[in-house]
Structure 1
Amino acid sequence: MAQISTADLYDERGHELQSVSLQFQNIGGLSGFSGPVRTVRCFQDNARLKELLSSPGDGAVLVIDGGGSLETALVGDVIGSLAVDNGWAGIIVNGAIRDRVALGTLPFGVKALGSNPAKSTKTGEGETDVPVEIGGVVFQPGATVWCDEDGILVES
């Protein structure tokens, strides 16, 4: 299935979509990816998102609201590989990742604010499948999100 560009999609359906103005880096092996939204809100703790990415993704995109923190990484190569193995289309991380080179080899979409080799905690703090707001855009679980080199669009 061919990936439609976010620019073309916006031209067709702009009034139905929100565009994320926050500038994310393309890090994964796929720069274009889309799917239904699943969400995790966590701050410098990746236990919940690891648990979720260890379950069947069915082509979903996990939107991770890490509060924009770049102090610790929420996702690395081990968690990225779990996501690929479980059928996730990609992740959007409002925070940092690690293992940038390894993540770039995976057939998986990764957008993040940056990278940091420091590990996060693993206490299980956070919430799953709740609306999250990133860059003024609300991601509702179940909505469709589209990502490519131009940016991120989500259904209003």
Structure 2
Amino acid sequence: MTSIVTPDICDAYPEVAVLEPLFVNFGGLEAFCGPVRTVKCFEDNSLVKQAVAEPGDGAVLVVDAGGSTRCAMLGDMLAEQAAGNGWSGVILYGCVRDVDILAETDLGIQALAAHPRKSEKRGEGQRDLPVSFAGVTITPGQWVYADNNGILVADQRLTLP
């Protein structure tokens, strides 16, 4: 796989959308990319759990958790399941937990912060719809590119510089 360097991608493709710099890299993969699949939920990670149990096929799960900093929406068990099922990464507009284990997991993970409390499990939320946060609307089928410099969204797969 070609290395992902978001500043180089921005230089080569000035039209890409750039998420506001709110995110912290928590995963074992510092750079990752893939086609977008989405979940929208709030303080209930039931649909995140459902998604990572499915084959990821190199996709990035983009989770609009409403920016909540009151609980974690992804922890070590779900991250390990996502990695084992072929997901490239998870971008979470919310929090994660078990950060020491996440850092050793073969998965890209970017989130707002760490929080020790787990989320509710009520089966609420939606999947596979456009989500908007950090100044960008992200639609299933677009491509996400992420590294320690930031997160980019492109309408299709890019030829990396």
**Deviation digits for residues 2-28 of structure 1, max 9, x if unmatched?**
22311001101112x100113200100
* 1:94 lines up with 2:93 in the alignment: yes
Post-superposition, which runs of at least 4 consecutive aligned residues in structure 1 deviate over 4 A?
none
**Deviation digits for residues 29-73 of structure 1, max 9, x if unmatched?**
011000000000000000111001000000000000000001010
1:119 Cα shift? 0.9
Percent identical: 45
- Give aligned pairs, total: 155
1:124 Cα shift? 1.1
* 1:19 lines up with 2:18 in the alignment: yes
Gaps of 5+ in 1: none
Task: Report the Cα distance in structure 1 between the residues aligned to 2:150 and 2:143, rounded to whole angstroms.
Answer: 14
Task: Report the Cα distance in structure 2 between the residues aligned to 1:2 and 1:136, rounded to whole angstroms.
Answer: 27
Task: Report the Cα distance in structure 1 between the residues aligned to 2:10 and 2:117, rounded to whole angstroms.
Answer: 37
- Aligned-partner residue type, residue 5 of structure 1: V
Answer yes or no: is the 8 Å Cα contact 2:22–2:134 preserved in 1. Answer: no
* 1:9 lines up with 2:1 in the alignment: no
What is the TM-score of this pair, normalised by structure 2? 0.94
Task: Report the Cα distance in structure 2 between the residues aligned to 1:132 and 1:3, rounded to whole angstroms.
Answer: 27
Q: How does 1:3-152 map to 2 (within 5 A)?
A: 3-15=3-15, 17-152=16-151
- Aligned-partner residue type, residue 123 of structure 1: R
What secondary structure sits across from 1:138 in the alignment?
strand
What secondary structure sits across from 1:3 in the alignment?
coil
